[in-house]
Chains A and B, each alone.
Chain A
Amino acid sequence: MLEMLRQYVSGYVALTKEEFAVVAGRLVIRNFDKKQLLVKAGEVEEYLNFIVKGLARMYFYKNKTEVITNIAREGEIISSSSSFLSGTPSNYYVETLEPSTLLSISRQQLEQAYKESPSIERLGRLMTTHFVLQKEEWELECMRLDTKERFLRFVGNNPELLLRVPQKYLASYLNMKPETFSRLKHLLRKRTPVFR
């Protein structure tokens, strides 16, 4: 379990055993059934979660419709990040889609880890930078690409999510109608070269 996290972290900084232990010693393991809420809108997000096993989504309500803004799986981070970073109430709900195991660190524990080790501070900076850039990339793509291009790019990069995530959720995430999503799926059968 920790090995997965070690690998994830090594993508950002090379930590010594001792430095990694500063983080590892502060983690809690949290298990959830499917369709359990990790955080609700209006609550403050207390944890940053690394998904060891499972799948989760983040969403909010626009009138009565759910709008999905993130889907994360094994080896990825899920959290109502803005609330976690600011300590203010979350705009979003975070919910598991499958039974999930998370390695979680609380805000207070993470602050302590930052104080103990400059390398962890760096890790925090680089991870946060990555989140900002992901957000920027996603926003620019939504402006730049049309519906079909967004669909092809997404399924090209995440083929397995097509099998694991209900289609209506993927459609919501890609900001298209479920009917449009179904229609676009025909493109996949025709061996169209995947848009990159």
Chain B
Amino acid sequence: MPYPASAYKAALDKFYHYLQGYVPLTKHEFHQLEPYFEIREFEKKVKVIHAGEVERYLNVIAWGLVRKYLPVRNREITVQLASEGHIIHSELSFHYRVPSRAVVETIEPSVFLSISYDSLEQLYERFPKVERLGRLMISDLFIKKDNRYFDQLRKTTRERFLEYVKTHPQMLQRVPQKYIASYLNIKPETFSRLKHLMRPKRSRGEVGVKD
């Protein structure tokens, strides 16, 4: 394994705290869940799932950077950009057990904590608490999705740009610009132009946003 075991322990710890944000979970309960997860490692620019395959896994990103996109007439529309602690998978394919239309591809070398469809079903059967955990996580996902959908429909290009760079400053450093532009539904040229709205704050060595 290219990563030391302690690194995985750190990732699992993070995951434990993440779950605790939804339901109180003892260490012991968490350890019972652990065997249901698999650790999967990928190099950068690897397609974790291709269009046409049935998605087997729900993935939590332990570390790395991943995007999900929809191939449409020779174009790739980025629908999700996810980093550490986020969940990414082709959800329609995963839940309905149908071929995926979306592609999930790593941008950086990445490690996933993945749970298969069958293992997840077993978890729900065996641990009633997971039922609540699942419900709350999915509710949260719905709320996030709805907010994004609403923003796409209602906000201007400039507003979407400014909000994203304000809330995701680290993504701007890590993700190729064209993917962010696609995700925000902004033309790459427009995206470049909008970058002028940002001025480096030299004193703090950070990228600031000028409103």
Which residues from chain A sit less than 8 Å from chain B, CB to CB?
A: 60, 62, 67, 69, 81-82, 85-86, 91, 114, 118, 121-122, 124-125, 128-129, 131-133, 135-137, 139-140, 143-144
Contact = CB atoms under 8 A, between A and B. Distances in A.
30 contacts: A60-B150, A67-B154, A81-B142, A82-B143, A82-B146, A82-B147, A85-B139, A85-B142, A85-B143, A86-B139, A86-B143, A91-B146, A118-B131, A121-B135, A122-B131, A125-B131, A128-B135, A128-B142, A131-B142, A132-B138, A132-B142, A133-B91, A136-B92, A137-B92, A140-B79, A140-B92, A140-B102, A143-B70, A143-B79, A144-B101
Interface in B95-148: 95-96, 101-102, 124, 128, 131-132, 134-135, 138-139, 141-143, 145-147
A72 B6 CA distance: 51
A135 B147 CA distance: 12
Name which of B79, B131, B147 has the most chain A CB atoms within 10 A of its CB. Answer: B131
Contacts, number: 76
Contacts of A132: 91, 138, 141-142, 145
Interface residues of B, number: 28
Q: Lowest 3 CB-CB distances: which A-B pairs, in order? A: A125-B135, A82-B146, A85-B139
Contacts of A121: 128, 131-132, 135
A140 B142 contact: no
B96 A133 contact: yes
Nearest to A67: B153
Contacts of B5: none
Given A133-B95, A144-B101, 15 more contacts: A69-B153, A81-B146, A114-B135, A121-B135, A125-B134, A128-B139, A129-B95, A129-B138, A132-B138, A132-B141, A132-B145, A133-B91, A135-B149, A139-B149, A143-B77
B118 to A, nearest CB: 16
A124 B135 contact: yes
Interface of B: 70, 72, 77, 79, 91-92, 95-96, 101-102, 124, 128, 131-132, 134-135, 138-139, 141-143, 145-147, 149-150, 153-154
Q: Among A118, A125, A129, find the residue whose CB has the most chain B CB atoms closer than 10 A.
A: A125
A135 B131 CA distance: 22
A35 B134 CA distance: 36
A125 B77 CA distance: 29
B208 to A, nearest CB: 28
Contacts of A137: 92
A183 B102 CA distance: 32
A91 B91 contact: no
A139 B145 CA distance: 10
A61 B203 CA distance: 42
A143 B141 CA distance: 20
A26 to B, nearest CB: 17
Contact of B154 (A62, A81, A114): A62
A123 B92 CA distance: 19
